[in-house]
Amino acid sequence: MQYPLLRNSFLPLQGVNRTGVAHLTTFVGVLLWLALQLALFWVQGTGGGTAYGAHLGGLAMGVILALALRMPRQAGLDRLLHDAARRRASGNFHASVGLLQRYLELQPSDEAAQLDLARALQMSGDPGRSLNIFRRIVDARLAARDIEAACDLYLEAHRANHVFHLEAEAQKQIAFWLEKRGYAVEASSAHLDLVRFHPDAEGVDHAMARAATLLATRPGEKHRAIDLLRRTIRDFPESALRPLLEDELLRLRQPT
């Protein structure tokens, strides 16, 4: 007859140890430690319990200092962020959104948490609110002249949802800086999004021309560049760029 419970109870006697990690909340851990200190202090008595009394006094002083420095509030905020990240990692994006919203009610200026909320909203099926947050942060980065961060966040939002765009002037800036950073395809897309979402904005003809020029440098995009140049000449017959556009169109149409 087998007795698994009895057999497993004597595993150490058979030279077998099963080790692992038990996760406890800090509160439970402190209570267990406190109970141990009190028990040892009681066993040792006044003769040998000085050290345990010092431990308890240190705990009391730590609690007083933590309360004075408002550390419980910060711990509560950190807990919200930790739980939100854990929910997001497990795929529970709606719960992550709720936790991040609670955190931002208390810390509305935390840009990193705002970005986490935008990503969680995107994954939870609320792209509208997500893109609004991205738009606000990209505008703030542009205003602060943090061009690298602005471009990176713009690209992240645009990859997540191709309808993402900025207001006309900000869209022009992003297209310009993407081009300066060597992102030819992304810059041409940003120029074309200016045309798509702000057709009446000043400089739309220039945006189309720049998109065509950038595409012309990419393998396999020559025909698309030619189509864009034709559209620009057709849609903006009075453009000051027309002579240059016609020359570029003639050059691209020549056999290589």
Write the DSSP string, 181-250: TT-HHHHHHHHHHHHHH-TTSTTHHHHHHHHHHHHHTSTT-HHHHHHHHHHHHHH-TT-TTHHHHHHHHH
pLDDT tens digits along 161-216: 999 999 999 999 999 999 999 999 999 999 999 999 999 999 999 999 999 889 88
User: Would you state the structure tokens that stand for residue 224, as one six-digit string?
Assistant: 């698309």
pLDDT tens digits along 97-148: 999 999 999 999 999 999 999 999 999 999 999 999 999 999 999 999 999 9
Inter-residue contact 207 to 175 (CB < 8 Å): yes
Q: Would the pTM count as exceeding 0.85?
A: no
* pLDDT higher than threshold 70 for residue 234: yes
Inter-residue contact 142 to 178 (CB < 8 Å): no
Q: Where residue 48 falls among pLDDT bands split at 50, 70, 90?
A: low
pLDDT tens digits along 13-37: 555 555 555 666 677 777 887 787 7
